[in-house]
Every structure is written in C-alpha cells, then in structure tokens.
Structure 1
Amino acid sequence: MPIPFDVLAEPQRRRILDLLLERPRLVGELTAELGLSQPNTSKHLRVLREAGLVRVRQDGQRRRYELRPEPLAELDAWLAHYRHLWSASFDRLERHLDQLKDDPS
C-alpha cells in the first residue's frame, strides 16, 4: 500500500515516527513527549497505523506502538529515482560558491 504524502506532511506525525525510531513507546510516553492531549496523540497514531507505518501491540491494558520500516523503505526506493535532481542542484551550488570564493572582487 503506497503511503499517502499527507500522512507524512503532518509535523506531529513525523515527530512520532522520529520517537518510534528510537524505540517502541506507550501512548502515554508519546503524549508526554509531544505535549499533545491523549486523544490528539491517538488520532495521529490511528492515521499512521492505517497507513501501515506503525503497528500496535497490546501490553496488558496499555498499547505499545512501534515503527514498521518496510513502508518507509518502499518510499525511499521510490525517491531514489529523484535524488539525482537534488545532487545535480547541490553540485551546481557548490561550483557557484567555489567561484564566489575564488573571485577577489
């Protein structure tokens, strides 16, 4: 299932993914780290879960969320086709900056 870009466009969802990259976390931990309400955190987690980016494991009465790297690897593979565009732009910028540095005026 392709990842809709609007899922990753939301900064709080990207922050959740960053936190889950470190280790699986309970909803309460994510809520505290993000400074959001528990319902708001759960809403973001639901969107991420539906997009296949995270999975949830029941830990007694608690829910522990963890990152699913497979969809991100698919996204990375798709973006690889476009990286040469960025590389070329950075190469041109580097050449321009080198010319500015060498120009004594």
Structure 2
Amino acid sequence: MSAALDRMLEALADPKRRRAIELLGQRPRSAGELASELGLAPPAMSRHLRALKAGGLVEDGHPDFDARVRIYSVKDGATDELKRWLAETEALWMHQLGAFKHHVEDGK
C-alpha cells in the first residue's frame, strides 16, 4: 500500500470528514458552510479540511469575485487509487475463498 493511500484512509477514518466528502460530492462549499452543516467550530473544520487535503481528497480555489474566500471541492480522480486497491483486495479474497471452498468440498 502506498503512503498516499495510507494518508487517504487516515483522512477517511473520521466520520465528520466522511460527511464533509459527501457534502462536497453534492457541490463545492466554503469552509464556513461545511462547518455549519457539520456543527463544527471553524478551527475544527479547518483541521478536518487540512487532513482531507493532505489525504489528496479535496482541493480549494478562490471564486473570481472574492480572493479571500476559499471554496472546497472533491478532487477529480481522488479515489482512483483507493478503488484500484479495493478491487485488487476483493479479487485476492475471492480467489482465497474460492480455493478454500474447493478444498472443503473436495475433502468430503
């Protein structure tokens, strides 16, 4: 497993961060909007957003009308490596379970 995937899973381990990803999946939002919807204080939301950025899951930008505001969104392709790893892990387990089933059935 890569270090980037480790950081992503670490970021997703927190339920508030997972909920933030769900909200950002609906549409981009400001940190203030996220904090309000999640019932968090702004400093706590900032810490969560830093973790999500470090995990490679979100990115931020400034709207043209106000450079002081940051708008957060889910990063394109952010979960590609996670999906690949999950598919490989599932294939491994399916193979292992299939081999075990074959072993049990042949042992009868």
Same fold (TM over 0.5): yes
Question: What is the DSSP-based 3-state SS (H/G/I as helix, E as strand, rest coil) of the residue aligned with 1:66?
Answer: strand
Number of aligned residue pairs: give it.
90
Deviation at 1:82, TM superposition (A): 1.9
Q: In 2, Cα distance between the equivalents of 1:25 and 1:6?
A: 22
> Tell me, which stretches of 5 or more residues in structure 1 are unaligned?
89-105
TM-score, normalization by structure 2: 0.72
Q: In 1, Cα distance between the equivalents of 2:34 and 2:25?
A: 12
Q: Which amino acid aligns with 1:58?
A: H
TM-score, normalization by structure 1: 0.74
Counterpart selection for 2:22 from 18, 22, 27 = 18
Query: What corresponds to 1:58 in structure 2?
Result: 62
Deviation at 1:13, TM superposition (A): 0.8
Q: CA RMSD in A?
A: 2.3
Query: What corresponds to 1:2 in structure 2?
Result: 4
- Give the fraction of aligned pairs with identical amino acids, expressed as a percent: 39
Deviation at 1:54, TM superposition (A): 0.6
Counterpart selection for 2:84 from 50, 69, 77 = 77
Q: In 2, Cα distance between the equivalents of 1:51 and 1:33?
A: 22
Q: In 2, Cα distance between the equivalents of 1:50 and 1:14?
A: 14
Deviation at 1:15, TM superposition (A): 0.8
> Tell me, which stretches of 5 or more residues in structure 2 are unaligned?
98-108
Contact 2:62 2:69 in 1 (8 A): yes
